[in-house]
Amino acid sequence: MTTANQSAAERNITLVSVANIQPSNYNPRKRFDETGLDELAESIKQQGVLQPITVRPIADTDRYEIVFGERRYRASVMADMERMPVIISDLTDEAAEEIAITENLQRKDVTPIEEANAYQRLIETGRHTVQTLAVLFGKNENYIRTRLKFTHLIPEIAELLEADELTLSVAAEICRYGKDIQQEVYEKHLQSEGTYNSWRGLKAADVAKRIEQNYTTDLRYYYFDKTKCATCAHNTNNMLLFCEGGCGNCANRACLAEMNAAYLKENYRSKITLADLQEQFHYSERYINQKFQKELGTTVIDYLNRCRIQNALELIRKGEMPISQIGWECGIGEYKYFSHVFKKYMGCSVREYQSTLK
């Protein structure tokens, strides 16, 4: 005994020319397994399409747009079918999009990126939130939020995830960071497999640790007000499951540079004025250091060395300049003294720090 809805659906089933059917942009699935399609096409040749697809009429034409069932449609084209069974439904764009996404996300072969983009599209319609999506798809809210973060992956890393060359857990760590860091991680550690500095095959925790060490900046070396940094989503203290405390590391280079530039601009006049006083009025170094300690919380030499070490770290990461020249470039001096200052402020030698970048 069939239900009223099933009977209504059956009455709407009709045969439509395959040539008059076209795919929809609403389908979140962009990849279709070729082997599976070949097998389905062969089955359709033998038995026909056993389950009709759902379509909606395209206004002012004799054509139809697929709401869901694109895989069966593709297989029917491959099987050279002239007509196929469809259920015709008059749906608005909004209803067609929601049904297409909802139906297709029930399939087992939907990729994480397809799933992420589908959730994002539903939220952008204004009709859904993370909470309603969790209820609609029977997932917990953390699952939905994690998938949504995959929309922030750069295309190259998203492609690795799509191709199963990157695990979900590793992708979840990488998508926490901005596109600039992601691009560097991809080019140096993920683009090629089997190279000496490749991160492919590493556990998520190891990848997270290496990104923090090599691509984030320790906030303790900066003197601007870090109140906002304490709750910032780009602070590794708020990004990682386990953190070592302290100020944390900043993963947003643009914001860090902007805040530091604003701080330096605000305090630059004091520094120059003190230097001018020493030169023009012969103020002692002790007096200048006292003023610097009062205004900036450190001595002149300590502050300048910290700034120089930060510049040195950027040059080392880029790898475009010999180590012997970096000390001079940053204003510290010859390599022997540069090495001494580097170890004092970083707690390791230059060579040891270089080895962590590989």
Instruction: Please give the Cα distance from 254 to 232 (Å, whole number).
Output: 14
Beta strands 217-218 and 249-250, pairing class: antiparallel
- Spacing of C-alpha 276 from chain mean position: 47
Instruction: Please give the Cα distance from 36 to 41 (Å, whole number).
Output: 9
Instruction: Please give the Cα distance from 128 to 124 (Å, whole number).
Output: 8
- Token pair listed for 248: 């944390």
- Token pair listed for 214: 């090599």
Q: What are phi and psi of 179, to 5 degrees?
A: -65, -30
- Spacing of C-alpha 23 from chain mean position: 29
User: 330-351: b or e for each residue (b if 16 or more CB lie within 10 Å)?
Assistant: bebeebeebbebbeeebeeebe
Instruction: Please give the Cα distance from 167 to 160 (Å, whole number).
Output: 9
CB distance 44 to 79 below 8 Å: yes
Instruction: Please give the Cα distance from 334 to 175 (Å, whole number).
Output: 40
**Annotated catalytic residue within 65, 70, 97, 173:** 70
Residue 183's H or E segment, with its range, is helix 179-185
CB distance 181 to 211 below 8 Å: yes
CB distance 23 to 110 below 8 Å: no
Q: Which single residue is written with the structure tokens 């910032």?
A: 232
- Token pair listed for 155: 């295309």
Q: Which single residue is written with the structure tokens 């076209």?
A: 22
Give yes or no: 70 in active site.
Answer: yes
User: What are the residue numbers of the active site?
Assistant: 70
